[in-house]
Structure 1
């Protein structure tokens, strides 16, 4: 199945991606950006929160 193949390719990188997203969020918070972040805060994503809940 194609989906399983993609998962195998990215599975070992998921933890690093989540850590990087958290670090980016902390960077923006320390730079006095207010939540919720708007389009001015780039790069940023909160997808890591979903990933943590799914894993």
Structure 2
């Protein structure tokens, strides 16, 4: 039997400015430029969604 999976979008869970800021802060702490760039895109989508 195959396991059913669903797409995960982190932007759906960053509903308030504090959550978005914390996500960016955590990304910056990694020092990983690719992860930071991805986090910025996610935060931008989350902010645009409201």
When normalised by structure 1's length, the TM-score is 0.36
Larger radius of gyration: 1
